[in-house]
Structure 1
Amino acid sequence: MVVVAAALALASFALLGLLEAELLRNAERDAERQAETVAQLAAAGDLERMRPPLHGADFVQVVNARGRVLRATPNLAAAPSIAPVKPMRPGTAFHTWRIGTLGGEHRQRVVQVTTDTPQGMVTVFVGTSLRDVDAADDTTTAALAVGGPLLLATVALVTWRVTGRALDPVEAIRAEVAEITDRDLHRRVPVPPTRDEVARLAQTMNTTLDRLEAAGNRQREFIADASHELRSPITVLRTQLEVALAVRDPELWPELISGALEDIERLQQLASDLLLLARIDAAQPALAVRLDLGDVVRGAVESRLGDRVPVRADDLASGVAVTGTELWLARVVTNLLDNAQRYAAGRVEVVLRTTGGPHGGTAVLEVVDDGPGIPPGDRERVFERFTRLDDARSRDHGGAGLGLAIARDLTAHHGGTLTAEESARGARLVVRLPVAAGG
């Protein structure tokens, strides 16, 4: 409102100035015309022919260089010169005076024309009253003095109401968000039907709450599943240790200790997987370098000893460069091979190739086994954490249902995808990664 008031004040002053300037130009136009006519008569030595003032001129007075009045209209009869005598030079000048002889109630716009005559230099004064100008100024000033505050008050009221209505939805959003706690993430903020920035803000807030709720649910499920998975090996380990403590036969101790070590190894693997998932969820940055994906796959295959089913890796394309972390990419390959080993009947095959695309090449890594395969309805569920399609069999082989989840999260961390796709026999897991620039 301060800005509006300042703009209104400047506009008012500008309006008054323009109005007065225009009225002054109109007032002095006729006076200047008559002053030039009288000056021409004086130059010709024929002042006797001077006529009464024309319309728009109130008086005429002709004064010589000594200040003597040579000719004047009746309303200035016997009046001295309206201006003190000064050195005269030919030309035209404009003045605004209050002339007491004429009453002085209103200003006079006086046109002064000095010219050379046979009797010497004379000055012609022609004046016109600024009565109408002063009246217009007074009327306009009074109108602005009354209308300005009314307009300012109207703008203030409208601005207050419009701003209040515009901010009401924002206040509703703020109040709702202020009441949402970690136990009320199912609540959503109201979305106004205005389809403006405030509505988009509410939609964005609700989308953020959706993600927070999903993250909270996932965290709670993860904690519950992790607690369940840790409870089983800890319970078995405690039982084995209690049995070993109760058994007095030394010949049974190696078997009991061996079982305890297996459970400890399972606990270590589970703790390692949980820590890796926590790092992935926290989006902790890892060193990314340019790698040959074929070398990473080949190294992961060659490092495996004692696999139940031999792994065939004869079809690996060379020179497939990707950007990523060697340890994490090797973990992806290892987890896929571990999954294939659990279910393969007699064949595990790894294939690496590249495909072109409109936005650059793509590296495609396939791990195929000849096991029972994955039903179409479960091809997404197998990537959920702690998910096992055959729970008993997975436990026998030591799986916790985290391998494929970790592999997908690590692949996504590298900007790729991991999917279970159709296969003539067994399971076919496909990793797609963007090829590094120039690779």
Structure 2
Amino acid sequence: MSRRRPFGSVRAKATLGATLVVAVALIAAGIAVLLALRSNLGGQADAEADAAARRVASQIAAGTPYAELELPDAEDHPVQVVDRDGRLLAVSEDLEAISGTGVPGVTPAPSPGTGRDDDDDADDPEAGSVGETTWHGEGRATVDGEDATYRFSQVEATDPRDETVLVYAGASLAGRQSTVGTAAVAMMTGLPLLLGVVAVVTWLVTRRALRPVEDIRREMAAITASADLSRRVPEPVSGDEVARLARTTNETLTALEASVERQRRFVADASHELRSPIASLRTQLEVAAAHPDLLDLPGAVEDTVRLQHLAADLLLLARLDAGERPGDGRVDLGELLAGEVAQRTGDRIRVRVEAGAGAVALEPGVEADAGAVVSGSRQQLARVIGNLLDNAQRHADTRITATVGVTDGGVLLRVDDDGPGVPEAERDRVFERFVRLDDARTRDDGGAGLGLAIARDVARRHGGDLTVGQAPGGGARFTLRLPPAGLRSS
């Protein structure tokens, strides 16, 4: 008994697979959202820092002395003003430490003012200018003992003395970090819950979808246990792949039931056919043992030959049922027919062969042809011809005609007799195994009802067919149709 492995069922595999796919998708989406949120909040901080730096730069451009600059609260926007030599000119009040701006100092040098006095104001009304933002970066600042992360913006400003200074202003990232952290916690909390919902829903949906498959499996197990091939698996009304599987399974069971029934009937009929000659031969031998002068030697030989023929027929049918391929030899059907007829010297009716040069036309579009070459087994095709001729000998009154012809559709071999013929209602049944339309007469003549069945099976194995109809002059016409050499379907 095999041990059931974890996740060995389709339902478990589907649930696990769906959950993993959703987990990967959600994690990727969450990371993308967090990165986008972080970038967006960082952009807002850059804009705030840039605005704060420009406000200070505007004061410098207007000529406000560095010592008198109105700087924003250091906790919100720490500010540094630095000249080109790196000298700190102004700094936010309560700023205790700063890093990331390139100037770590927090103590301004003695201010040179703006270089502008009252006379200058009267003679030179020109003010300075505010340049472009030249840098954004991230750093840290300590205000009133609290250390925090900031985004810094660098803006150039030119004072009225035409000296350029750099204004550094920061914007706190505490709000961004808090928002991103909150979003991350929410995602980490919601992810397991969402994955749990996905797993449960997938499990339930898969169980519902696979319920018909389990019903099919259970019924097949019951059929195997009971060996009752008449049972059928339930077919869902959904019309999906599972319904088609159930329908195909039932078709297979139908074919299997028919095959088993055919085999059972075959074994029963074979046993019945073998019983008679064996019983007859045993009786003759027992009589001969008790009364040697009463031995019916010809009858014993006849029963032995009948057993031999029956055993050969059963062996050939077994090989055909096993799927034996006929081979790819080239066989001239006209020559094969002529050879078979030439060997039958003991027939009660001489067979007239119409094949080769000078043969009469069979019907419009069909010409007799000695070069009617087909692909297959010479031995099996000879058996077909022999069985058709044996059948004609048993039923013909005075005439048997065998003809080979070639048509656009292939090669034809026809055997006509002038016997009673085959009733139209029985024309398919005569090809069944152990079927005899006249049991008494055919049994006396040695027929077991296998000749025509073997002939049709061999014909179909060669890509053709064997049919029966009415001969033009009355009686039966058996027609063997075979594809020409090289055109037989595999």
> What TM-score does the superposition give when structure 1 sets the normalisation length?
0.87
Give 1:47 shift.
5.2
- Residue 82, structure 1, aligned to residue 122, structure 2: no
Q: How many angstroms apart in 2 are the aligned matches of 1:376 and 1:418?
A: 15
Partner of 2:136: 94
Select which of 355, 375, 395 maps to 1:343.
Answer: 395
Greater shift in the superposed pair: 193-202 or 222-231: 193-202
Select which of 217, 235, 245 maps to 1:201.
Answer: 245
Q: How many angstroms apart in 1 are the aligned matches of 2:310 and 2:205?
A: 60
Partner of 2:83: 64
Aligned partners of 1:91 and 1:115 also within 8 Å: no
Superposition pairs of residues 38-437 of structure 1, within 5 angstroms? 46=63, 48=65, 58-65=77-84, 67-72=86-91, 76-77=92-93, 79=95, 82-83=98-99, 85=102, 92-101=134-143, 104=146, 107-113=149-155, 122-181=165-224, 183-247=227-291, 249=293, 253=295, 256-315=296-355, 316-356=368-408, 361-424=409-472, 425-437=474-486
Aligned partners of 1:68 and 1:81 also within 8 Å: no
Give 1:122 shift.
3.3
Greater shift in the superposed pair: 145-154 or 266-275: 145-154
Aligned partners of 1:363 and 1:432 also within 8 Å: yes
1:292-322 alpha-carbon deviations (Å, 9 max, x no partner): 2222222222222221111122244133232
Q: How many angstroms apart in 2 are the aligned matches of 1:302 and 1:47?
A: 135
Aligned partners of 1:311 and 1:348 also within 8 Å: yes
Q: How many angstroms apart in 1 are the aligned matches of 2:164 and 2:95?
A: 20
> Which stretches in structure 2 are left out of the alignment for 5+ residues?
1-18, 105-131, 356-367
What letter matches 1:9 in structure 2? I
Select which of 35, 38, 50 maps to 1:20.
Answer: 38
Q: How many angstroms apart in 2 are the aligned matches of 1:165 and 1:92?
A: 64
What letter matches 2:35 in structure 1? G
SS in 1 for 2:143: helix
Give 1:286 shift.
4.0
Greater shift in the superposed pair: 122-131 or 273-282: 122-131
1:356-388 alpha-carbon deviations (Å, 9 max, x no partner): 2xxxx3222211111000000100110011110
Aligned partners of 2:97 and 2:143 also within 8 Å: no
Evaluate the alpha carbon distance shift between residue 23 and residue 265 of structure 1 in structure 2; reply closer, same or farther with a 3 A threshold: same
Give 1:288 shift.
2.2
1:60-108 alpha-carbon deviations (Å, 9 max, x no partner): 4312356543245xxx226467347569xx9833223342217747532
User: How big is the alpha-carbon RMSD for the aligned residues of Structure 1 and Structure 2?
Assistant: 2.9
SS in 1 for 2:152: strand
What letter matches 2:399 in structure 1? R
Aligned partners of 1:383 and 1:408 also within 8 Å: yes
> Which stretches in structure 1 are left out of the alignment for 5+ residues?
none
Aligned residues: 423
Evaluate the alpha carbon distance shift between residue 228 and residue 65 of structure 1 in structure 2; reply closer, same or farther with a 3 A threshold: same
Partner of 2:128: none
Q: How many angstroms apart in 1 are the aligned matches of 2:232 and 2:145?
A: 80
Greater shift in the superposed pair: 26-35 or 291-300: 26-35
Evaluate the alpha carbon distance shift between residue 66 and residue 211 of structure 1 in structure 2; reply closer, same or farther with a 3 A threshold: same
Q: How many angstroms apart in 2 are the aligned matches of 1:278 and 1:417?
A: 19
Q: How many angstroms apart in 2 are the aligned matches of 1:396 and 1:81?
A: 125
Evaluate the alpha carbon distance shift between residue 299 and residue 37 of structure 1 in structure 2; reply closer, same or farther with a 3 A threshold: farther
Give 1:135 shift.
3.6
SS in 2 for 1:291: strand
Q: How many angstroms apart in 1 are the aligned matches of 2:292 and 2:372?
A: 60
Evaluate the alpha carbon distance shift between residue 244 and residue 100 of structure 1 in structure 2; reply closer, same or farther with a 3 A threshold: same
Aligned partners of 1:383 and 1:404 also within 8 Å: yes
Aligned partners of 1:68 and 1:80 also within 8 Å: no
Q: How many angstroms apart in 2 are the aligned matches of 1:292 and 1:51?
A: 117
Q: How many angstroms apart in 2 are the aligned matches of 1:58 and 1:345?
A: 125
1:25-82 alpha-carbon deviations (Å, 9 max, x no partner): 233134335546755876x68455977669xx8344312356543245xxx2264673
Give 1:434 shift.
1.7
What letter matches 1:412 in structure 2? R
SS in 1 for 2:449: coil
Select which of 23, 28, 47 maps to 1:10.
Answer: 28
Greater shift in the superposed pair: 20-29 or 176-185: 176-185
Give 1:21 shift.
0.7
Q: How many angstroms apart in 1 are the aligned matches of 2:246 and 2:229?
A: 15
Evaluate the alpha carbon distance shift between residue 222 and residue 37 of structure 1 in structure 2; reply closer, same or farther with a 3 A threshold: same
Q: How many angstroms apart in 1 are the aligned matches of 2:158 and 2:403?
A: 115
1:225-268 alpha-carbon deviations (Å, 9 max, x no partner): 0111011111111222233333354xx54xx1111111111111
Give 1:283 shift.
1.0
Give 1:119 shift.
7.6
SS in 2 for 1:180: helix
1:383-438 alpha-carbon deviations (Å, 9 max, x no partner): 01111001111012111100000001111111111111233410111111122337
Evaluate the alpha carbon distance shift between residue 227 and residue 79 of structure 1 in structure 2; reply closer, same or farther with a 3 A threshold: closer
Q: How many angstroms apart in 2 are the aligned matches of 1:104 and 1:304?
A: 121
Give 1:285 shift.
3.1
